[in-house]
Amino acid sequence: MRLSVDATATLFALAATAAAAAQPKALSLVSAGDTAPIPAWDVQSSAKITQDPAALSKAGAAVSSSWHHAPVSRCTVFGCLLAAGVYNDSDLFFSDHLAAIDKAQFQVPWLYRSEFTIASGAPSESGSSSSSSNNSSSSSSTYYLLETNGITSRADIYLNGQQVADKVTQSGAYGGHVYDVTSAIQSGSGKENGSAHAIVVRAYPTNYLQDFGLGFVDWNPYPPDNGTGVWRDINLRKTGAVAIESFSVVTAGTNGTVTIRATVRNLGAASVNFAAEASIFRDGGSLAASGAALSSVSSPSTQQLGRGQTTRIVLTTTVDAPAIWWPRQWGDQPLYTAQLTVSTPATTSSRSSVVKSDAATKSFGFREVTARVSSADDILFSINGKPFQVLGGGYASDVFLRWDAARFEAHARYTLDMGLNTIRLEGKMEQPELYAIADRLGLMVLPGWECCDKWEAWSYNDDLPKPVAVWSDADYVTANASMRHEAAMQQSHPSLLGFLVGSDYWPDDRATAIYTTALADAGWQAPVVASAAKAGYPKTLGPGGMKMPGPYDWVPPNYWYDITDPATVDDDVRYGAAFGFGSEQGPGGGTPTLSSLKKFLSTADLDDLWRAPNKGLYHMSTAASSFHNRTIFNTALWQRYGAPTSLDDYLLKTQMADYEATRAAFEGFAANWGLAGAASTDANSSKRPATGLVYWMLNGAWPALHWALFDYYLHPAGAYYGVKAALGTGALEHVVYDYVRQAAVLVNRSQNQTGVRMVRAELINAADGAVISNITTATKERSTVAVPNSSRTVLPIQGVSTLRDVALLRLTLLDGIAPSAGVLSRSVYWLSAAGVDTLNWDDSNWYYTPVAKYAGFQSLDKLPAANVTATRETTAAAAATNGSHSAETAIRLENHSAVPAVFVSLNLVDAEGADVTPVTWSDNYVTLFPHETRTLTVQELASALGIAGAARGIAGAARGIAGAARGIAGAARGVAVQVTGKNVAKATVTL
C-alpha cells in the first residue's frame, strides 16, 4: 500500500487548516532595518491547483480548503505536511512505515502560499543628527526587500500578483537572494498598517544528481520529497532609499581591531546622500542591555549614490583590551555585537536632520584560526596561536530538515559533555541559530559542501552514476550565489573552524575560483580546505591535509594504535589508524537501548536484531549500501562476547561493544597527539601526529541502528559514555590504555594545567577480583609531570601478556604523589587472555579492516553476581555543568562484594518509567572493583534549554515534532534511577 496525502488527511484536518489559513499574520516592520519572516504557509500540490500562481498571489484569492496549513515559517513540503498534521513522525519512523509513502506525489511542483499584513509605525523623521535613530523613514522613501535563504531545489516567487523571481535565478538549496519588492508591496491591497498581501512560492522537485539539494547519500532513507521546499525562512525587510546589501565584521586576530565592511545600494529613482556609522557592543545580546558602545566610528563625510548604484563602505575601529573567545575546553566565550547604521537626509524637515535608512547587526568574537599542512599532507589547526586537536563528530540534520533550536542545543551540550570540541557539517549547514548557539557554548563548527551528488558532479568523480551530470554555466552561477550566501551568514562567527569546499572530491578550477573569491569578498577569517579526502586538490588551494580511508564499520580497539612508526606510517598501509586528520571515520556503533528501540521497531524487527544477525535492516543504511546490515558488527560480537541468548543479552553486549569501540577510537587519537601541541611543530616534519578525528557520525537524521553517539530520542548509551570515558569524563587530564604497547598514556588537553602527577595501574581477574599487578609512576626517583596540550607514554602495564582469563585494568590519575592527592580521572578496561584482535591489514577496504583472530570475552557471561547498592546521596542542587543550571542529583554506588561489578549503568526515568531526556551523567556504564564506592551525578537539561511542557517551543503536531518522538520530555521530571549491569541485579532508586 502506498500512502498519499489524500489517504491520510481527514475532513477535520482540512476544515482546521482552512480556518487557520484565513487569518493573515502581521509582520512587524516598524523601523528601517527591521526584518520579519513569512510566518506560516499553506501548501498544496500543483497537480491539484488550476489557478495561475500569479493570481493566487493576490490577497483574498479564492483558495480551496484542500490546502494544508503549516503554522511554521520554514518547512520542506513534507515537513509542512508533518506540521499540518497530515503525517505523524512517530508512525512514519516505526518499522518500515516510511517506505509506504507515495513518492510520486512529490515529483511535481508544490505551491506555498501565505497572506500577511505589515504592522508599521507611523512615518516620522528625526531631527537628531544621530544616525542610530530608531525612527522609521518616511513612507515616500520606504522600500521593501524580499530575502530568500535557499529554496530546494529551485522556485518561482510571486507577490501581490507580480512575479518576483523565476527558477533560473532562485536555484539551489543555499541560493540566497535579495529582491526589491517595493513596487509589488505598493501595488497590493495597500502599502502597510493592516492591508493584506499575499506571496506564492512554486517549489520544483529535487533530484539529488541534477539539483543542488541537501542529500543524505546512504545515511538513511531519503525523505519522500527529497527535501524540496522552503526549508529556510523567506524574510521581508524594510529600508529607506539606501539599503545594506552585504555586511561583514573582520577582526585582526585578537588585538582588538575591528573592520566593518559593507556594500550599500541606492534603491531610489534619484541620487541620494548617505552617511554610515558602526558601533561595537559587548556580549552580543540586546543592544539596549549592553549599555554604551565600546567603540564607534563614522564615515568621514556623506557620500552620494546615483540611481541604482552600489558602493563599498569600510569602517575600522578598535576595542581596547578585547576579551578573547576560546573553544569551551580552553576558556570563555565572550561575544560582541557590531551595529551598522546608514542614514540619509530627512526630506520633510527644514532643519539639518537625518533619518535612518537601514541598519544591521552581527555577533562576533575576537579569535584567530589558522591551519597548516605538513609535507606528509596532514592538516593541523591552531586557535589563538595554540595547536588544536580536533575531536568531533559529523552532524546530521533532521531527515525532514526540521529545525528546533532547543533540540540542537541539546546536541551541542551532549557533544561538549562527551569532551568533544567540534562538529562537521557536510552540506547540512542548517539555520543561522546553529552558529549562534555554537558561539555561545564554545563548540567549533566545520561546515562545507556535501559529497556524492550534484555538488561534486565533476568529470573526474568516479563514484557518481554515469553519465555524470557535470556542471553547466548556470550551475556555476548557482554555486556562486550559494557560496556568497553561506559565507555572508557564517563569516563573523568565532565558532567557525574553516570551510570545506569539497568533501570526497575537490572542486574544479572554475568552481574553486568562485568559492575562494566569494569567501574572500565576505571577509572569511578561517582556513579554506580543498576537500575532506586525499583524492586530489585544486592548485590554488593545495592539499587539504585530511584523510577519508574509513573505517565506517566495526574495528577492534587496537586498530587505532597499530602503527609501527608514527614518523613514517603510510596512509595506504594503516588507513584510518590514529595519525593525521581523519575527516569522517569510526567503528560504526551507536545501538540504542531497548526503551528507544521500542519506539521505532516492531516485535519482529527486535527479534531480527539477534535472531537474524546478517539480515538487512530498514533502520540501517539504505538497501544499496554496504551498511544495510549489521554483519561486521555482529560477527565480532558473537566471536568476542559470545552468542546472545536473548534480546536483553544482545543489547547489553552491544552496549559493551559500542563503549569499547568508540572509546578506543578517541583514545587512540588523543594518545597519538604527542607533543604536536606542546611546542612549535615544524610544518615540514615527517612525524605524523594525530591532529584530528571527526567521528562518523555524531547523531542520526532519524531513529537509526548505527552511526550515532546518542540516539534520535536523545538517550545517551554505551557509545556516548565510551567517548566520554576516552576524553576524561570531564577532566582535561586523564590516562588512556595503549592496547598495542600495553602501556598507560598521559593525556593533557588543557592549555595550562601542569604539576606533578601520579598514575596508578591496577590489574585484576574479572572472575574473582584477584590482583595481578598494582603499580604507580610515583617513586622517590621518578615522578610524572603534566605537560599542557600533549600526550606521552608514562607507564608500562605489567601482567597483560600472561593473562589466563579476562582481566580488568583500572587506570587512575592523581593530582600528586601525596596520600591525600585527589583523583583527576579513572577508567576501567576489560582485556582478553587471547590478546588483542589480529587485524588483516592487507585485506582492508574503504570501510573496514577484517579481523583474522578475535579477542575473547565470553567468560564475562559466567561472572559471579556482585552485590551493588545504589542510594541517593544528595537532594537537587544547583549545578553549572556545561553552562547549564539544571537540578543535579547524586547517586552513590557501592560494591559490597569481593568480585568486580562490571558495566553498571544508570538510567533516569519519569513517573511512568519513560526515559528522561536530554540528560547527562558525570559517568555511566562504570565498572566497580571489589568493595569500591563511586558517586555519580545526573543533570536534567530541560530547564537549561528552556523546555517546560507546552512552553518549551515544541508544540507536538503543530510543529511537526511529536514530543516524545523527538526525545525531549518537556515537563517530565526524573523520579527514579534504574540500575543494572553485566553481573548486577536490576534495581530502582526512588528520588
Residues 784-843 have pLDDT tens digits of 889 999 999 999 999 999 999 999 999 999 999 988 999 999 999 999 999 999 999 999
Q: What is the pTM of this model?
A: 0.94
How is residue 859 annotated by DSSP?
G
Tally Cβ neighbours within 10 Å of residue 978. Answer: 17
Rounded to 10 degrees, what is the CA torsion of 702, 706, 712, 714? -170
Q: How far apart are CA 874 and CA 105, in angstroms?
A: 57
Residues 972-989 have pLDDT tens digits of 688 999 999 999 999 999
Handedness of CA 880, 881, 886, 891 (dihedral sign): negative
Handedness of CA 448, 748, 710, 431 (dihedral sign): negative
CA-nearest of 213, 210, 214 to 468 is 210
Half-sphere exposure of 750 (CA within 13 A, CB side): 16
Amino acid occupying residue 554: W
pLDDT (average), residues 907-916: 96
Q: Which residue(s) pair with 572 in the sheet?
A: none
Whether cis (ω within 30° of 0) applies to the bond prior to 918 is: yes
The pLDDT of residue 730 is above 70: yes
> Scanning the structure block, which residue is given the C-alpha cell 590516562?
735
Give the pLDDT band of residue 6 (cuts 50, 70, 90): low
CATH topology of domain 241-364: Immunoglobulin-like (2.60.40)
Query: Helix %, strand %, coil % for the chain, to 5?
Result: 20, 30, 50
Rounded to 10 degrees, what is the CA torsion of 862, 979, 634, 808? -50
Give the pLDDT band of residue 740 (cuts 50, 70, 90): very high
Residues 133-169 have pLDDT tens digits of 333 444 458 999 999 999 999 999 999 999 999 999 9
User: Residues 329, 415: contact at Cβ < 8 Å?
Assistant: no
Least confident of 124-133, 487-496, 505-514: 124-133
Question: What cell was used for 587?
Answer: 567503528
The pLDDT of residue 188 is above 90: no
Amino acid occupying residue 29: L
Q: What's the pLDDT at 839? A: 98
Q: What's the pLDDT at 947? A: 56
Residues 27-74 have pLDDT tens digits of 999 999 999 999 999 999 999 999 999 999 999 998 989 999 999 999
Q: Which residue(s) pair with 146 in the sheet?
A: 179, 236
Helices (H), 120-258: 182-186
Q: How far apart are CA 719 and CA 428, in angstroms?
A: 23
Q: What's the pLDDT at 873? A: 87
User: Residue 975: which residues within 8 A CB-CB, separation 6 or more?
Assistant: 909, 910, 911, 990, 991
Q: Which helix (H) or strand (E) holds 584?
A: strand 580-585
Choice between 347 and 382, residue whose per-residue pLDDT is larger: 382
Q: What's the pLDDT at 234? A: 99
- Give the chain's largest Cα–Cα span: 97
The pLDDT of residue 970 is above 50: no
Question: What cell was used for 859?
Answer: 567468560
Q: What is the mean pLDDT of the chain?
A: 90
User: Residues 204, 228: contact at Cβ < 8 Å?
Assistant: yes
Strands in 288-366 per DSSP E: 295-298, 303-305, 310-318, 336-345, 354-364
CATH topology of domain 868-990: Immunoglobulin-like (2.60.40)
How far is C-alpha 598 from the chain's CA centre?
A: 26
Q: Is 115 a catalytic residue?
A: no
The pLDDT of residue 874 is above 80: no
Q: What's the pLDDT at 681? A: 46
CA-nearest of 424, 700, 703 to 584 is 424
The pLDDT of residue 954 is above 70: no
Q: What's the pLDDT at 779? A: 62
Q: Which of 377, 404, 430, 584 is catalytic?
A: 584
pLDDT above 70 covers what percent of the chain? 88
Beta-strand pair 390-394/690-695: parallel
User: Residues 265, 243: contact at Cβ < 8 Å?
Assistant: yes
Q: Do domains 5-124+149-166+178-233 and 868-990 have the same CATH topology?
A: no
- String of DSSP letters for 665-729: HHHHHHHTTTTTTTSPPPTT-S---EEEEEES-SS-SSS-SSS-SB-TT--B-HHHHHHHHHTTT
Q: Which of 504, 660, 837, 888 is catalytic?
A: 504
Q: Is 456 a catalytic residue?
A: no
Measuring CA to CA, how many Å separate 983 from each of 469, 656, 826, 861? 57, 13, 21, 8
Domain ranges of the chain: 5-124+149-166+178-233, 241-364, 388-726, 733-861, 868-990
> Scanning the structure block, which residue is given the C-alpha cell 480548503?
65
Give the pLDDT band of residue 178 (cuts 50, 70, 90): very high
Give the pLDDT band of residue 354 (cuts 50, 70, 90): confident
Pick the CATH number of 388-726 from 3.20.20.80, 3.30.200.20, 3.10.129.10, 3.20.20.70: 3.20.20.80
The pLDDT of residue 683 is above 50: no
> Scanning the structure block, which residue is given the C-alpha cell 584510518?
576
Q: What's the pLDDT at 5? A: 61
Least confident of 542-551, 868-877, 891-900: 868-877
Question: What cell was used for 345?
Answer: 537626509
Question: What cell was used for 594?
Answer: 531497548
How far is C-alpha 79 from the chain's CA centre?
A: 19
Give the pLDDT band of residue 657 (cuts 50, 70, 90): very high
Pick the CATH number of 5-124+149-166+178-233 from 2.60.120.260, 3.20.10.10, 2.40.50.100, 2.60.40.60: 2.60.120.260
Q: What are phi and psi of 301, to 5 degrees?
A: -160, 165
Question: What cell was used for 453?
Answer: 551528488
CATH topology of domain 733-861: Immunoglobulin-like (2.60.40)
Least confident of 185-189, 254-258, 534-538: 185-189
Question: What cell was used for 674?
Answer: 604527542
